[in-house]
Amino acid sequence: MTTIRLTVGQALVRFLAAQRTERDGTRHRLIEGCFGIFGHGNVAGLGQALLESEVSGPARLLYLQGRNEQAMVHAAAAFARTRNRLSTLACTSSVGPGATNMVTGAALATINRLPVLLLPGDVFATRVADPVLQQLEHPAAADISVNDAFRPVSRFFDRVWRPEQLPSALLAAMRVLTDPAETGAVTLALPQDVQAQAHNWPAELFRERVWHVPRTPPDPAALARAAEVIRSARRPLIVAGGGVIYSAATEALRSFADSCGIPVGQTQAGKGSMRSDDPLCVGAVGATGTVAANELAARADVVVGIGTRWTDFTTASHTVFAEPGVRFVNVNVAASDAAKQSGVAVVADARAALEALGGALAGWSAEPAVRSRAAELSARWQATVDAAYATRHQPLPAQAEVIGVVNEVAQDTDIVLAAAGSMPGDLHKLWRTRDPGGYHVEYGYSCMGYEIAGGLGARLAAPDREVFVLVGDGSYLMMASELVTAVQEGAKLIVVCVDNHGFASIGGLSESVGSQRFGTSYRFRGRDGRLDGGYLPVDLAANAASLGADVLRAQTIEEFRLALVKARASDRTTLLFIETDPAAAAPPSDAWWDVPVAEVAQLPATRDARARYVKAKQRQRPYL
């Protein structure tokens, strides 16, 4: 048997460079590069291996220099989402704080079902110098390190204590990364001494390996049960989730909805699965949904969920699907999601299932009134969006106006990206999607700080698309570091920083639960000791300029439009700064979200909020 003598770090890099995915006859590189921040846990192992790969390696793995470990993982997750989970990036960190900084990113990737490969450095396997710098000493178990924190947020976790363990760990990791039902964060913890240890590896370990991503067909019996339920519907509704986009099933969805005359509502991850101007597209559904989608949801007697995991925002905390006796059909590649809502479970790839359902329902269509009602409600909501875009709120513009201008300037295949605060909800309701990959809002974890790092990952994955990152001042302050990486890599971003001096979303939520926007504004401490003084003199635009971005400031919507056109025409990362009014809310969704209110309180506002909460709670249903 032919062997090659390499260190564990060198073998890992060479293996990753040779991995491919294949779906529908098209191949992709599985791991396109590796983000890394080096420290004593990985600089001599993976750091040296990545250097050799860059300088003289036979199979090059691109190295990307991160500035924040959490941001590296966010960028990798966004890269994977933009590539429909067929390609991703690896991330390596040092031992200790560098490693634990990646835990938040791991949770985001796993919750959103996005493949990322994490390679944190770890303590010495030999323990010859315990405790090493940054080592956690657990009194009850000497083999525990801080990397064990990755276990609950990873879909697969392994620690490579010896070189002989690396091949089996790598093969198991690739299997999970390429499994549509199981994918998420995969963590391989690498003791720092093992990374630098040499071993004779079988040459076949480094040959190109293709991981075939299947299109799981539906079980015929499950398909028949689903078709029977759909045929019985008088007021059906489709809820399209992220699985529709990841399986490249958008055309299959459009065809199925049109032939059966069924309106389509969309989750955050599923927005873009149909064009917004399609008469059967009623837009966002749930707590951040449109009035059109939620009205149809309230009266639907059969709801067909395709590629959705039915989060509380989609179901409006189990209140939006209000029809007595409503039944669900759940199409999902993951059996655990297909079984939700006590529906008829169809465990299958979204495109394969839609095509099979189309055949099973050939000749059947919902009553014409369903189609016409959807078109009527959709047109009515589009008029609401027009009004929100055209409002000229004074003295500061509304966030909806900013979104309207970005939607106007962006071209069909451009990407809008956001993650946390009030922006995702407003985008879900108001953004007009024209391309399946044009809407990128991280809302599974709704992680502040994802935006700029995610924008970097999306642009690296789609260098021919403009990426508009919409971020509030709160999220910007959480993590703006990857502006530096975007400038370094020439990965142009257009960052729209909306400054409302605090947290608009949580401020509104705080007010709704009777907490009077407490702790949600960036203010000086007043003489009475409370944080209710003047606004802090924070200049985020100046900060962005110091990180290497071009900066354009706007005071009015008209100035903002001119600046945005200029930024799109530029070839440099540009941040646009504009202040908005946090109290100027977007049109309501007429839906509810369950956030418990204090059961007893001295404040009248809280007592009033509790009374409203108890009343709203009565609408919740178990969907058993």
The last residue of a domain, from among 333, 352, 379:
379
Q: Which domain holds residue 494?
A: 391-501+536-579
The pLDDT of residue 502: 81
Number of domains in the chain: 3
pLDDT tens profile 531-584: 888 889 999 999 999 999 999 999 999 999 999 999 999 999 999 999 999 888
Please tell me whether residues 139 and 158 are part of one structural domain. yes
Is residue 58 predicted with pLDDT exceeding 60? no
Structure tokens belonging to residue 238: 């489709």
Is residue 97 predicted with pLDDT exceeding 80? yes
Whole-number CA gyration radius for the chain:
25
* Helix or strand holding residue 91 (H, E): strand 88-93
Contact 203, 173 (CB under 8 A): no
Structure tokens belonging to residue 57: 């390696």
Strands 31-36 vs 264-266: parallel, antiparallel or unpaired: unpaired
Please tell me whether residues 266 and 313 are part of one structural domain. yes
Tell me if the pTM is above 0.95: yes
The last residue of a domain, from among 347, 379, 411:
379
CA angle 365, 371, 373 (to 5 degrees): 145
What is d(CA 302, CA 316) in angstroms, rounded to the nearest whole number?
17
What is d(CA 298, CA 281) in angstroms, rounded to the nearest whole number?
16
Is residue 504 predicted with pLDDT exceeding 80? no
The pLDDT of residue 583: 83
Please tell me whether residues 166 and 131 are part of one structural domain. yes
CA distance to 24, 86, 90, per residue, from 19 (Å): 17, 11, 12
What is d(CA 580, CA 121) in angstroms, rounded to the nearest whole number?
43
Query: Is residue 595 included in any domain, yes or no?
Result: no
CATH number, domain of 486, equals 3.40.50.970
pLDDT tens profile 208-237: 999 999 999 999 999 999 999 999 999 999
Measured over the CA atoms of residue 346, residue 347, residue 353 and residue 354, the dihedral's sign is positive
Split at pLDDT 50, 70, 90, the class of 59 is low
Average pLDDT over residues 417-442: 95
Please tell me whether residues 432 and 457 are part of one structural domain. yes
Strands 19-23 vs 26-29: parallel, antiparallel or unpaired: antiparallel
Average pLDDT over residues 292-319: 97
Average pLDDT over residues 125-130: 91
Residues 6+ apart with CB under 8 A from 545: 551, 575
CA distance to 9, 164, 263, 452, 478, per residue, from 473 (Å): 40, 49, 37, 12, 9
Query: Is residue 190 included in any domain, yes or no?
Result: yes
CATH number, domain of 312, equals 3.40.50.1220
Residues 6+ apart with CB under 8 A from 426: 399, 400, 403, 586
The last residue of a domain, from among 168, 191, 212:
212
Strands 198-202 vs 3-7: parallel, antiparallel or unpaired: antiparallel
The pLDDT of residue 582: 85
Length of the chain: 624
pLDDT tens profile 585-623: 889 888 999 999 999 999 999 998 899 999 999 999 887
* Helix or strand holding residue 74 (H, E): helix 69-82
Average pLDDT over residues 320-340: 96
Please tell me whether residues 322 and 372 are part of one structural domain. yes
Is residue 506 predicted with pLDDT exceeding 90? no
Please tell me whether residues 237 and 341 are part of one structural domain. yes
Query: Is residue 600 included in any domain, yes or no?
Result: no
Query: Is residue 618 included in any domain, yes or no?
Result: no
Query: Is residue 299 included in any domain, yes or no?
Result: yes
Contact 45, 121 (CB under 8 A): yes
Average pLDDT over residues 405-410: 97
The pLDDT of residue 129: 87
* CA nearest to 329, candidates 318, 317, 348: 348
Average pLDDT over the chain, rounded to an integer: 95
Contact 577, 551 (CB under 8 A): yes
